[in-house]
Structure 1
Amino acid sequence: MDNDQILGNIAALVAEERSLRERSGRQLGLDADEQSRLHSVEVQLDQCWDLLRRRRAKSEFGDDPDTAEVRPADEVEDYRG
């Protein structure tokens, strides 16, 4: 996956997150499935941003950005503290 694909994924996830949050504001909240999906989208966004940052860092320092891999959700979420 290249940077443009990652940015495309980020754009799609942001749109979905925005839609879920708007729906939550118009209604009395989200049902359990929607809440679960929102959490999943948030985690995927964190993973995408993390991957993009690491790919850019590798490129900047002359390393192959394609060696960067998506880190597990618990690892990416842990550093947010």
Structure 2
Amino acid sequence: MDEQAILGRIRDLVDEEHELRRAHEHAETGDAEARARLRDLEVALDQCWDLLRQRRARLSAGQDPDEAQVRPAGEVEGYRQ
């Protein structure tokens, strides 16, 4: 996946996240399914951002950015901010 495809995926995920959050704000009660989907979106976004950072770091180091790999959710979720 090239940088433009990753950025497009990020935009799609952010749009879906915003839509779910707006719907959740207007709901009287919390929807467990929507909360689970939001969590999945957050993880997918973290993975996309991580992949983008990997690609840029590899490019900066003179390495092939196409060798960057999506890391497991448990790994990217364990990073300190």
Number of residue pairs aligned between Structure 1 and Structure 2: 81
Q: Once superposed, what is the RMSD of the aligned Cα atoms? A: 1.2
Matches within 5 A, 1:1-81: 1-80=1-80
Judge which range, 66-75 or 26-35, deviates more.
26-35
Q: TM-score, normalised by structure 1?
A: 0.94
Percent identical: 54
Residue by residue, what CA displacement relative to the aligned partner does 1:14-38 show, whole Å, maximum 9, x if unpaired? Answer: 0000011111111124411111111
Unaligned regions of 5+ residues in structure 2, if any? none
Q: TM-score, normalised by structure 2?
A: 0.94
Residue by residue, what CA displacement relative to the aligned partner does 1:18-59 show, whole Å, maximum 9, x if unpaired? Answer: 011111111124411111111000000000000001100100
Question: Which runs of at least 4 in structure 1 moved beyond 2 Å after TM superposition?
Answer: none
